[in-house]
Amino acid sequence: MADKRKMDGKRVLVSGSGTGIGREVALEFARQGAAVAVHYSHSARGAQEAVDQILSAGGRSAAFKANLESVQETRGMARQALAFLGGLDVLVNNAGITMNLPFEEVTPEQFDTLYHVNVRGMFFLTQAVLKALLEARGAVVNVTSVHGLRGYVEHSVYAGTKGAIIAFTRQLAVELAPRGIRVNAIAPGCVPVKNHFKDVPDADVPKAIADAGKTIPCGFAGTPVDIAKVAVFLASDDARFIVGQTIVADGGTTSWLAFGEQFKQPMMTRFGKGYVPGL
């Protein structure tokens, strides 16, 4: 007899699931047996393709639009998704946008846009589905980034939003765990997706991905599937004792002291000479 799928009978809403990591998260939950509400903000094409793929495999899915900058639209989308699903067991807060600019060039409008989509949208979407999650004793999985844990040039706004998500995850987990809801987060590292290359029309994408992998201790870049499988795990009963944590999935990036590429070859310098025996 085949093993029971981890998400059989579950109802899942994934924000920002028309493209990239979010799309693969939605597809993986469906592969694991869940009915999935696919959210998108702008183009319906990717979201509908994901829905069609789920339906063709015998699953249940529909797409719902909302600009997460608008609390009103966010709440309206939540109502529609809950009506379609008939409740909610898992919310995956994946939607987010990025931007890189030197700190001194960031405008108030750019700052507000990133915080409204990446943080405020997540906050009020979770609030909008809270009653359903309480009834189901469900789970919330927030998608943050290694940028919330480590610094990088020209990411002052984006990194701030991702750090806020980590703090929000920790705080909300403490508040909701006694009420039966587990809240955790995933911090992906280098996971190339189509949007990363849209401003470089002639990019050699396979080479760019391979080159990116050379900068990571494990030797390869991650894929959206890698993150999707972590999301399913965190939402499943297998993770029932994991609460308020940010799981880093980055191939070793944040474990590496970035002083060079010493992880690839023996170091020539020996620290501790004259103090440590044998050196």
| Catalytic residue selected from 115, 152, 158, 275 | 158
Asked if the model's pLDDT at residue 90 lies above 70, the reply is yes
Whole-angstrom Cα distance, residue 179 to residue 142? 18
Tokens representing 106?
A: 């960031």
Dihedral sign (CA 9, 15, 18, 24): negative
Contact 143, 166 (CB under 8 A): no
Torsions phi, psi for 62 (to 5 deg): -155, 160
The residues spanned by each domain of the chain are 11-264
Residue 224: Cβ within 10 Å count: 21
Rounded to 5°, the CA angle 79-83-89 comes to 90
Asked if the model's pLDDT at residue 1 lies above 50, the reply is no
pLDDT of residue 67: 97
Model confidence pLDDT, tens digit, residues 122-133: 999 999 999 999
Going edge to edge, which strands form the sheet with 90-93?
61-65, 35-40, 11-14, 90-93, 139-143, 182-188, 246-249
Please state the rounded mean pLDDT for residues 192-215.
75
- Name every residue whose Cβ is closer than 8 Å to that of residue 199 and which is 6 or more positions away in sequence: none
Residue 75: Cβ within 10 Å count: 16
Output the average pLDDT for the chain. Answer: 91
Whole-angstrom Cα distance, residue 51 to residue 219? 33
Q: Is 158 a catalytic residue?
A: yes
Q: Estimate to the nearest angstrom the gap between the alpha carbon of 257 and the chain centroid.
A: 24
Residue 133: Cβ within 10 Å count: 24
pLDDT of residue 197: 60
Please tell me the CATH code under which domain 11-264 is placed.
Answer: 3.40.50.720
What is the C-alpha radius of gyration for the chain, rounded to an integer number of angstroms? 20
pLDDT of residue 208: 78
DSSP code string of 5-21: PTTTT-EEEETT-SSHH
Q: Is the whole-model pTM more than 0.75?
A: yes
Asked if the model's pLDDT at residue 42 lies above 50, the reply is yes
Confidence of residue 271 (pLDDT cuts 50, 70, 90): low
Whole-angstrom Cα distance, residue 172 to residue 149? 19
Model confidence pLDDT, tens digit, residues 139-174: 999 999 999 999 989 999 999 999 999 999 999 999
